[in-house]
Amino acid sequence: MMTLGLMNSYSLRSGINVAILDMVDETPNNFTTDNNYLYKTECDVQNDTSQLTKQVGEFKWTINQQTLLLGCFYYGYSIMNIPGALLAKRFGIRLVLGLTGILSSALTMLMPILAYQSFYLLVIARATVGLLHGVTFPAVVTAWGIWAPPLERSRLMSITFAGGAIGVCLTFPAAGWIVSSINWESVFYITGAIGVIWSIAWLIIIHDTPAKHPRISSQERKYIESSIGIKQSAAKHAVPWKHIFTSPPVLCCFAAHLGDNWAVHSLTALGPMYLERVLEFNTKSAGILSSLPFLLCVVITVLWGMTADFILSSRFLSILTVRKISSSLPLALSSITLIAVAYVGCDALLVVILLAVCVGVLGMTASGHYTSFLEVAPIYGGVTFSISNTFNSGVGFAAPQIAGLLLIDNSLASWRNVFWLAASITLFGSIMYAIFASSQVQSWAQENDIREETENNLMVKKVDTD
C-alpha cells in the first residue's frame, strides 16, 4: 500500500508536466524573444521540423510562468516535511497519509476550473497539494522504522521508493494519451479520482504499528519488534536537533539526497519540455519517452534492493560498502550522463538513452543514503529524513525556476547550462557520501543513551523539587 501511495503521490504531482504542453499557446506570436523564449531551435533546422504545427493552447503563459507552475508544488511540500514527521509520530501513519491523500486528490480534480479562473489560483492550488504531500516521505520512513527488520530494509525501502518512479512512469505516457485522445483537463480528473480511491482503501486497510495490527501473528509481531530493538515509547523522546545538524554521517546523507533530488526533479519537471520543444516530439511521444527513464529506475530499484539484501545476508560485503556502492556510484554515473546529454545535440535516440541511464541508476539509492537515515539513527529516521527532505525538496521549485533563468532562449547552448548545473550538484552529493557515510547507529540515537539521558533529567528535576 505504501508503494501504491507513492505512485499516487507522484501521479498527482507530475501529470501537469505533460498536460502543460497542451495547455499553453506555443505559436511564434506567444513565444518570442520579448519574453525570453526563442521559438525556433537548432533541431528545427537540423531535423527539418520547422513546418510542424505548434499547439495552440488556451493559456499564453511565458516560460517563467510555466516553470513557476511546475515548481510551485514544492513551495508547500518543503514546508511540511518536518511537521509531517512529527504528525506521523503523534497521530500515526494511517490518518496522516489517508486524510492528506483525500484532500490533495480532491484539490487536483479542481485544477482545470482554477486554471480558467486565474493563473495564480492554479499556483496556489499546486502549492497546497504540495503542502499536503509534504507528509508522505517522512511518514513512509517513519513507518519502516517501526515495521522493517534490519536485514529486510533495503528490499522494503527499494520496493516502496520504486512507487514514485512507477507513478511517473505510468503518468507520463498515460497523460500524453489522455491529452491527445480526450483533453488536458481529464489528466487532472482521472489522477485525482484514482487518488481518492487509494486514500479510502488506505484508511480501511492500514494500521500504525505491529502492536495495533489485528491480523498479525504474535510470532511475527515479536520478531519485528525484537529485531528492530526499539521500544515505541523511545520513539517519542525529544528530538536531538543539535546532534542531527552536527553529525557528519547525517549531513552526508543530506548532500547525497540533494544530488539525487536535483537530477530527478530537473528531469521530471523539464524532461517532457526538452523532448517536445527542443527535440520536436509531439505531446504523446514526449510523454512516452519521458517515462522511459523512470521505467528503468523501477527495475533497478527493485532488483538492486533485493541484491543488496542478499549481499548483506551472505556477508559478501560490509553494510557500509553496500551503502556507498548504492549511492556514490549511481550519483557519479548520473552526473556523467547529464554532461553527455549537454553535448549530443539533436540525436534524439541517444538523448533518450542517456536520460534513461541517468534516472535509472538512481534507483540504487533507495538502498544507499535513504536507508542510511534509518541505520545511523533508527529512532529518528523519519525526523532526519524529513529535515533532509525539507531542504532538498526546495530543489523541486528551485531547479525549474533556475532553469527558466538559464534558458535565455530555447537553444541547445542554454539547455547545456541547465544540464551542467544538475551534473555538478549530483557529483557533489556522490563525493560527500563516499567520504562521510556510516552504517553505525550514532551514540546520540542509541536507546540506552536515550534512557540514561531521560533518567538523568528526571533526577535533576527531583533534586530541584527537593
Number of structural domains, the chain? 1
pLDDT of 302 reads: 81
Q: Does the structure show a pLDDT above 70 at 358?
A: yes
Rounded Cα gap, residues 62 and 404, in angstroms = 10
Task: Assign 401 a pLDDT band (cuts: 50, 70, 90).
Answer: confident
**pLDDT tens digits, one per residue of 422-464:** 899 999 999 999 999 998 888 888 765 444 443 444 344 444 4
Q: Residue 48 — φ and ψ, nearest 5°? A: 55, 50
Q: Residue 409 — φ and ψ, nearest 5°? A: -150, -175
**For the residues 283-297, what does the mean pLDDT come to?**
73
* Contact predicate 293/14, CB 8 Å: no
* CA 347 to chain centroid: 28
Half-sphere exposure of 378 (CA within 13 A, CB side): 24
Task: Assign 265 a pLDDT band (cuts: 50, 70, 90).
Answer: confident
* Contact predicate 3/162, CB 8 Å: yes
Rounded Cα gap, residues 159 and 306, in angstroms = 9
**For the residues 190-219, what does the mean pLDDT come to?**
84
Q: Does the structure show a pLDDT above 70 at 231?
A: no
Domain ranges, residue 410: 2-465
Number of H helices, E strands in the chain: 22, 0
pLDDT of 74 reads: 80
What does the mean pLDDT of the chain come to?
A: 79
* Contact predicate 199/52, CB 8 Å: no
pLDDT of 459 reads: 43
Task: Assign 52 a pLDDT band (cuts: 50, 70, 90).
Answer: very low
pLDDT of 196 reads: 93
| Least confident span in 112-126, 156-170, 344-358, 438-452 | 438-452
Q: Does the structure show a pLDDT above 50 at 295?
A: yes
Q: Torsion-angle region of residue 209: left (phi > 0), alpha (psi -120 to 50) or beta?
A: beta
**For the residues 270-274, what does the mean pLDDT come to?**
72
Q: Does the structure show a pLDDT above 50 at 465?
A: no
Q: Residue 92 is part of a domain; what is its CATH number?
A: 1.20.1250.20
| Least confident span in 126-130, 181-185, 226-230 | 226-230
For residue 71, which of 302, 422, 464, 401 has the smallest C-alpha distance? 401
Task: Assign 255 a pLDDT band (cuts: 50, 70, 90).
Answer: very high
